[in-house]
């Protein structure tokens, strides 16, 4: 994107690294747009830049450490650059970050818009400046329009914040209370994105099931999906994550009757034992969770169900771990996202008795990761030889003509073609086998995927 009336070579360059959830990815996308409008030039993370911004996650201690590692990488690239840290870690761990003398600005979630003004001043304070306010003071959600920039699939934040306060979770303190974007603004934004070529929109939020409760004209996620179905020309709609109790009969009926909805659910379980769930302050039992999953399976063919799990929660004895494992082996799901428990300062669970050794937490995590790999491979393999609709997202290797497409039920399918017009088109593909991508030439990803019949390895 060229800046009118400016020499691009003279623009300050900015590299931005994003960690964590789809909400954070949306926030970074929006921040990039604001930087471009303010005449900064966005460059890849690998480049030497004048300014480095790290948009952080803090859901686990590992997330904090990853952000710190990225900052050190950036410092090695250009020790004379300006360094900005924002996001959830900046919101809840500002004092820790401020101990790093190389950081110039620590900016909380609710003040991300200040980043542009601070950078325009082109100053480097001698010690870290902290710009922070109480996240719970934020009562509304900004509905700033975003552009597509030739992306086929885009995240659209419609809700932020959380009112649940699970005992292990720091996110309500990082994001504040639940707040929603009015439906008419969402409809307008989706239609704008469609005109820019977007084929799939992923609705994102911290607590999507709470969507609309805070608005003056109260509405629900079910109501919003119906409006998107009727009032937009969007091809595909995806919902990023829902709590089990949010998957009610009304929502499932709406989703089942939608031609746009992609059959893909992400339902955090966290533990398969009622005692542990109670200590986590989760709002469901194992039995209730199982009923929700089975109800989804009755409504949707070939549905993908992803599950979040926390391993080694304080007080999780061997019997509780075995109960969870037994529950997972009988429950129909497609893939696990496994999180080793790490205490978050300020959460009740950090003070609970029965904190497990790190070695035991990691041991249990590996058991679930192995179970997930086997189940996901079996799920992928079940689609070999079946024709599927998939949206072509990008050319993974122009030299060899590899393309990546994403099926409606969230399966990556790779294929080879010399047709450059396939990008951003939904086409029919028939997978011939599953493969670890690192085994295929020019595809370095180590995850599992499907290869279509016309692939050449």
Using 50, 70 and 90 to split pLDDT, how confident is the model at 438? low
221 with 297, same domain? Answer: yes
203 with 342, same domain? Answer: yes
Q: Does residue 1 lie within any of the structural domains?
A: no
The predicted model gives 358-387 an average pLDDT of: 95
49 with 198, same domain? Answer: no
180 with 302, same domain? Answer: yes
* Chosen domain end from 379, 403, 435: 379
- CATH number of the domain that residue 272 is part of: 3.80.30.20
Q: Does residue 300 lie within any of the structural domains?
A: yes
Q: Does residue 146 lie within any of the structural domains?
A: no
92 with 219, same domain? Answer: no
28 with 84, same domain? Answer: yes
Between CA 13 and CA 16 the distance in angstroms is: 10
* Confidence check: pLDDT of 456 > 50: no
* Chosen domain end from 322, 344, 379: 379
Q: Does residue 360 lie within any of the structural domains?
A: yes
Between CA 206 and CA 138 the distance in angstroms is: 15
129 with 192, same domain? Answer: no
123 with 231, same domain? Answer: no
Count the domains in the chain.
Answer: 3
Q: Does residue 2 lie within any of the structural domains?
A: no
pLDDT value of residue 457: 40
Whether 455 contacts 415, CB under 8 Å: yes
* Chosen domain end from 379, 400, 424: 379
227 with 370, same domain? Answer: yes
- Domain extent, residue 185, equals 153-379
pLDDT value of residue 297: 94
Whether 451 contacts 434, CB under 8 Å: yes
362 with 393, same domain? Answer: no
* Cross-strand pairs, 153: 200
369 with 352, same domain? Answer: yes
* Confidence check: pLDDT of 445 > 60: no
User: Which among 235, 233, 234, 207 is positioned nearest to 221, based on CA atoms?
Assistant: 207
* Cross-strand pairs, 82: 51
Q: Does residue 457 lie within any of the structural domains?
A: no
Whole-structure pTM value: 0.90
Q: Does residue 95 lie within any of the structural domains?
A: yes
pLDDT value of residue 400: 64
The predicted model gives 228-238 an average pLDDT of: 97
436 with 314, same domain? Answer: no
- CATH number of the domain that residue 101 is part of: 3.40.50.12160
Whether 30 contacts 16, CB under 8 Å: no
Q: Does residue 224 lie within any of the structural domains?
A: yes
Between CA 251 and CA 221 the distance in angstroms is: 7
Lowest mean pLDDT among 204-208, 290-294, 390-394, 445-449: 445-449
Sign for the pseudo-dihedral over CA of 285, 288, 294, 300: negative
Between CA 141 and CA 24 the distance in angstroms is: 14
Whether 405 contacts 423, CB under 8 Å: no
């Amino acid at each position: 994107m060229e800046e009118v009336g400016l020499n691009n070579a003279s623009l300050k360059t900015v590299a931005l690294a994003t960690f964590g959830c789809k909400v954070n990815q949306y926030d970074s996308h929006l921040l990039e747009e604001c930087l471009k409008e303010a005449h900064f030039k966005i460059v890849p993370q690998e480049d030497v830049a004048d300014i480095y911004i790290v948009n952080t996650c803090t859901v686990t201690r590992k997330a904090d450490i990853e952000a710190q590692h990225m900052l050190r990488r950036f410092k090695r690239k250009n020790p004379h650059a300006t360094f900005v840290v924002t996001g959830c870690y900046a919101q809840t761990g500002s004092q820790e970050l401020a101990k790093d003398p190389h950081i110039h600005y620590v900016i909380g979630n609710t003040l991300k818009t200040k980043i542009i003004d601070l950078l325009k001043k082109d100053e480097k304070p001698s010690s870290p400046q902290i710009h922070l306010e109480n996240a719970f003071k934020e009562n509304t959600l900004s509905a700033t329009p975003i552009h597509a920039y030739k992306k086929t699939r885009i995240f659209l934040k419609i809700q932020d914040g959380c009112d649940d306060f699970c005992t292990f979770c720091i996110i309500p303190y990082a994001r504040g209370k639940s707040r929603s974007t009015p439906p008419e603004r969402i409809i307008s934004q989706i239609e704008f994105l469609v005109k820019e070529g977007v084929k799939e929109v992923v609705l994102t939020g911290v607590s999507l099931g709470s969507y609309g409760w805070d608005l003056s004209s109260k509405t629900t996620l079910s109501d919003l999906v119906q409006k998107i179905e009727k009032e937009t020309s969007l091809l595909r709609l995806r919902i990023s994550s829902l709590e089990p109790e949010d998957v009610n009969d009304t929502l499932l009926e709406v989703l089942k009757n939608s031609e746009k909805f992609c059959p893909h659910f992400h339902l955090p379980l966290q533990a398969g034992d009622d005692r542990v769930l109670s200590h986590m302050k989760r709002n469901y039992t194992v039995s209730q969770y199982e009923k929700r999953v089975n109800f989804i399976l009755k409504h949707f063919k070939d549905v993908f169900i992803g599950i979040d799990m926390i391993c080694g929660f304080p007080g999780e004895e061997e019997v509780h771990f075995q109960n969870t494992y037994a529950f997972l082996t009988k429950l129909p799901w497609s893939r696990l996202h496994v999180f080793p428990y790490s205490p978050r300062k300020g959460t009740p669970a950090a003070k609970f008795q029965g904190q497990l050794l790190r070695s035991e937490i990691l041991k249990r995590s590996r058991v679930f990761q192995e179970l997930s790999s086997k189940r996901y491979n079996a799920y992928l393999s079940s689609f070999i030889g079946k024709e599927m609709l998939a949206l072509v997202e990008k050319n993974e290797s122009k030299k060899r003509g590899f393309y990546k497409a994403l099926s409606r039920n969230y399966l990556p399918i790779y294929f080879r073609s010399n047709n450059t017009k396939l990008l951003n088109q939904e086409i029919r593909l028939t997978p011939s086998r599953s493969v670890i991508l690192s085994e295929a030439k020019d595809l370095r990803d180590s995850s599992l995927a499907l290869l279509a019949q016309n692939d050449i390895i």
